Chains A and B, each alone.
Chain A
Amino acid sequence: MSVAAPPSTPLIDSIRSRRIRITQLVAVGALVLFLAGAPSVVDSFTLAQILTKALWLGIAAASLIFLSSYGGMISLGQTGIYAVAGFTMANLVHAAGGKHLGWDPLAATAVGIVVATAFGLLCGAIAARSYGIYFLMITLAISVIVFYFFAQVTVLSGYGGIRSVTMPAVIGNPITDPIPLYYTALLASVLVYVGIRYLARTPFGLALQGIRDDPARMQALGYNVPLHRALAFGVGAFIASIAGILSVWYTTQISPGGINVAQTINILVIAVIGGLYRLEGAWIGAIVFSTIDNYSRVWMPNVGDWLGPDRFETVIGVIFLVIVLASPGGLVGIWEGLWGRRRRRRSPEESSGIPTKGAVDDAVDHPAAV
């Protein structure tokens, strides 16, 4: 890799990196402080309906972003996979509807995750040889099949779904006391984030990124490309299944209405709003989504029959369009763009010396050209 280091003096370098490190520390510190202390600063409604919801939706979107940013696979199957986890868990415990087998909720959770991951590996094996629009269609079909399966197999769910799902003792009743579920979702989000960042640096993750950039070349190097992609899809399924379990804990029920095509699109919208190629975008997109979902019904003025509190889909659709047109990298992309411009303005020597962000990317995308 022959990307040149910035031609700056060691002194400027060290000052700059120290300033960045301080900014970074302050930012991370503020974030940790806020997230850890949220239950005592926000009311229980906001904690549950905005933050907790954003955390589990973020995990679902993270599974999609993991596949798209590291594997080049934009999957619409994540909703179907998390539904399998949720329905498996809900069928195994005491509940109204479904099999209500009366298992221990934690054991049921573990089995739900295992079943959904296995289901994801199977789907991955089917979809792994497809690319682009064909991959998108196969994964969309997975979600649609799962929706109709649970809607029509009434012994497992039916349209009414499974209600009053028994919670693990650590969660309690998330409606009367949302705090345990919030911390659980927060812990799960942190583990997912760290886990994906770690996985991306392992030989498995690096090879996956190689496959994303040039599957033919990786094949020539001796990698089993379909197997690698199928395994990555399985990892994505594992992450999605965590979101599925949390979604059941969040609502204490699961029904096909919550995992339909609209929800599939919602997960994609969250990922795109946040930034389809940055892991952080998953949670940023999710918090924007759940905030708009909730508050647009309060803020939105009535404008004839065109706009009103019932036009959430219109609002989120317009935001989606604007993001796609203005910043394909989502909100994270906008932020990075702003920082990049300011940086270049402040230190002109950088712009002449250091390759721009885009150039770095090009260099990485096409190492042979550098």
Chain B
Amino acid sequence: MRARRVQPIHIPKEVNLPRSQRSVGSRRLFASIALLPLLALAACNSSPSNTPTTSSAIKIGILSDCQGDFGSFYNDDLGGALAVLAAHYGGKATGAKPSDGMTGAKIGGKDIQIVGFGCSDSTANKAIEETRRLVEQLGADILIGPLSGDEGIAVANYAKTQPNKTFLNGISGAQDATLKVQAPNFFRFNPDGAQWSSGLGDYAYNKLGWRTAAVIGDDYAFPYTSLAGFIAEFCSIGGSIPNSNRIWPPLGTTDYSSFVTQIPKNIDGLFVGVGGAGLITFLKQYIQLRGALNTKHIMGNTFWPDPQLLKAIGTPMVGAVAASGIAGDASFPQTQAYKQELAIYPATQADAASVFTLGYWSAMTALGQALTSVNGDLSNGQKALQTALASTVVQGPYGKISLDSNRQAVFDNWIVQITPPPSGSNVPGIKTILRVPKVDQTFGGFFSPTTPAPSRTDPTCTKKTPPPWVGNETPVDFSAGNVQY
């Protein structure tokens, strides 16, 4: 006889007993089941959704990520939006942190009520649940958010089911959210991932003389889109990036050596779209396997001008160029004003250069301007507000932001170069060298609602009419102090 392998668990299981011998517990259980939904019902009926909305206050919900990959930026996101209310519309912070709330703001004579903060976790599921909580349960008229790409597509799709509410994107950057979904009440005052890479294809082809390039990026939507911006521009001018030169390490890779060895050697340059903590590891391993970085043959996307990265890799990066929506050394009056506005939340102000803060700030700024112009009128399915938003121009800290016919931001992108460390430091600096004017989402027609979404193999590399900014980038030097806004 084999030894018993497992100790049996003591489990109530009267189902084994003949019916007459079963205890009554199971029957009474029915009573408990019946009571629970009734209790839930009582809870629901006391929820704010059932209270009549007699006040004329404008109700705003703000959706961001408090959990997941981007959860640590939660207060930077909320702070960017709320600081606008405090700076221009009389809002008073309820506590030291943005998530403590804000009261007292008025726009166009109407009270602004922040009904709640959505707390998602960078998944589309949670973003939709939180959006519905803010819109359907807490009765938000206007939603600002969400933060990340997949969430943005989900919320834009949801916006179509709520045509009488208005949605302003937070900082999510997936191309599809505006280009394909095209919800008439979804407005995005920040660029998508591809727009952030604009200008680099031209720079690589015409300034650095690249003809054949390779790209490497994490295997998910944002790097697909970010690299698509480079591929579209570089290929439209005449460059070549065959599918075999596109390398996609899985998100969360910790050892990039096998991916570095996959990068072909007979190429003119490499465009790097690896993000976050992985980028430091990637560059270190790249240097170990391929020797010192030749900054004429490697460039990066919006993740490169990052202080932590510059500190970790240091001087080997000097001379490399990257593209970014943020010109770190910009000295416009608007740049100063933006930093001043954030002063109400010192922790957020310290992160003023964060794209997250900027995205939420832009959305609330646009909303404030549009609401002012319509005197807070939300009647008739908010049509007046939505029309006003479509033509709103935000005076952003790094340039004007307007919307195209798809309600997607058109903005000026910046090419930045990494400079030698100032004396007494070993952390390289950033210098903005080129302005890429009026970058639109379609890249002059390369992307359209019918082109496949950016993926491992899309867009295909084809020569076309280049985007309108190619050849029209203007050199800038902020240290000279004469850059036109």
* Segment 319-361 of A: residues with Cβ below 8 Å from B: 329, 331-332, 335-336, 339-340, 343, 357, 360-361
Q: Is the CB of B133 within 8 A of A215?
A: no
- What residues of B have a CB within 8 angstroms of the CB of A50 in the complex? 40, 44
Q: Determine whether B480 belongs to the interface, using a CB cutoff of 8 Å to chain A.
A: no
* B36: contacting residue among A20, A46, A197, A284, CB under 8 A: A284
A215 CA to B12 CA, complexed, in Å: 18
* B25: contacting residue among A132, A288, A357, CB under 8 A: A357
- What residues of B have a CB within 8 angstroms of the CB of A332 in the complex? 29, 32
Q: Determine whether B393 belongs to the interface, using a CB cutoff of 8 Å to chain A.
A: no
Q: Which of A110-118, A138-146, A230-238, A251-259 contacts B (4 or more CB under 8 A)?
A: A251-259
A31 CA to B3 CA, complexed, in Å: 47
* Segment 138-153 of B: residues with Cβ below 8 Å from A: 138, 149-150, 153
Give A190-234 as 1s and 0s: 1 = Cβ < 8 Å from B's Cβ atoms: 000000010011000010010011111001100000000000000
Q: Which of B124-132, B208-216, B271-279, B322-330 contacts A (4 or more CB under 8 A)?
A: B124-132
Q: Which residue of B lies closest to A277 (CB)?
A: B11
A217 CA to B19 CA, complexed, in Å: 25
A84–chain B nearest beta-carbon distance, Å: 17
- What residues of A have a CB within 8 angstroms of the CB of B220 in the complex? 158-160
Q: Is the CB of B16 within 8 A of A335?
A: no
Q: Is the CB of A294 within 8 A of B12?
A: no
A288 CA to B67 CA, complexed, in Å: 21
* Segment 108-151 of A: residues with Cβ below 8 Å from B: 131-132, 151
- What residues of B have a CB within 8 angstroms of the CB of A48 in the complex? 132
Q: Determine whether B117 belongs to the interface, using a CB cutoff of 8 Å to chain A.
A: yes
A149–chain B nearest beta-carbon distance, Å: 12
Q: Determine whether B285 belongs to the interface, using a CB cutoff of 8 Å to chain A.
A: no
Q: Determine whether B158 belongs to the interface, using a CB cutoff of 8 Å to chain A.
A: yes
Q: Which residue of A lies closest to B22 (CB)?
A: A360
A295 CA to B133 CA, complexed, in Å: 9
Q: Is the CB of B8 within 8 A of A213?
A: yes
Q: Which secondary structure characterizes the binding site on chain A?
A: helix
- What residues of B have a CB within 8 angstroms of the CB of A280 in the complex? 29, 33
Give B76-100 as 1s and 0s: 1 = Cβ < 8 Å from A's Cβ atoms: 0000000000000000000101011
- What residues of B have a CB within 8 angstroms of the CB of A258 in the complex? 123-125
Q: Determine whether A176 belongs to the interface, using a CB cutoff of 8 Å to chain B.
A: yes
* B21: contacting residue among A3, A197, A284, CB under 8 A: A3
Give A286-316 as 1s and 0s: 1 = Cβ < 8 Å from B's Cβ atoms: 0110010011011000100000111011000
Q: Which residue of A lies closest to B149 (CB)?
A: A160
Q: Is the CB of B5 within 8 A of A131?
A: yes
A224 CA to B419 CA, complexed, in Å: 72
A353 CA to B83 CA, complexed, in Å: 72
Given contacts A160-B150, A308-B99, contact A214 B4 (CB under 8 A): yes
- What residues of B have a CB within 8 angstroms of the CB of A313 in the complex? 67
Q: Is the CB of A34 within 8 A of B16?
A: no
Q: Is the CB of A175 within 8 A of B12?
A: no
A188 CA to B178 CA, complexed, in Å: 37
- What residues of A have a CB within 8 angstroms of the CB of B10 in the complex? 361-362, 365
Q: Is the CB of B49 within 8 A of A45?
A: yes
- What residues of A have a CB within 8 angstroms of the CB of B157 in the complex? 163-164
Q: Determine whether A8 belongs to the interface, using a CB cutoff of 8 Å to chain B.
A: no
- What residues of B have a CB within 8 angstroms of the CB of A213 in the complex? 8
Q: Is the CB of A20 within 8 A of B24?
A: yes
Q: Is the CB of B154 within 8 A of A335?
A: no
- What residues of B have a CB within 8 angstroms of the CB of A331 in the complex? 32
- What residues of B have a CB within 8 angstroms of the CB of A69 in the complex? 11, 13
* B34: contacting residue among A30, A161, A257, A362, CB under 8 A: A30
Enumerate chain A interface residues (CB-CB to B < 8 A): 1, 3, 5, 20-21, 23-24, 26-28, 30-31, 34-35, 38, 41-46, 48-51, 69-70, 72, 96-97, 131-132, 151-152, 154, 158-161, 163-164, 173, 175-176, 197, 200-201, 206, 209, 212-216, 219-220, 251, 253, 255, 257-258, 277-278, 280, 283-284, 287-288, 291, 294-295, 297-298, 302, 308-310, 312-313, 329, 331-332, 335-336, 339-340, 343, 357, 360-362, 364-365
A-B contact pairs, 21 of them (CB 8 A): A3-B17, A5-B20, A27-B34, A34-B34, A43-B44, A72-B6, A72-B9, A175-B161, A176-B161, A212-B11, A216-B1, A216-B3, A257-B122, A277-B12, A280-B33, A297-B116, A309-B66, A310-B71, A335-B32, A357-B12, A360-B14
Enumerate chain B interface residues (CB-CB to A < 8 A): 1-6, 8-18, 20-21, 23-25, 27-38, 40-41, 43-44, 47, 49-50, 66-67, 71, 74, 95, 97, 99-100, 116-117, 119, 121-125, 128-130, 132-133, 136-138, 149-150, 153-154, 157-158, 161, 174, 176, 180, 219-221, 250-251, 453, 455-456
What 9 pairs between A and B have smallest CB-CB spacing? A257-B123, A310-B66, A159-B220, A27-B31, A31-B34, A45-B136, A131-B6, A27-B34, A27-B30
Identify 11 new A-B residue pairs, CB closer than 8 A, beyond the known A23-B28, A51-B37, A361-B12.
A27-B34, A42-B44, A158-B219, A158-B455, A160-B150, A216-B1, A251-B125, A284-B33, A284-B36, A287-B36, A365-B8
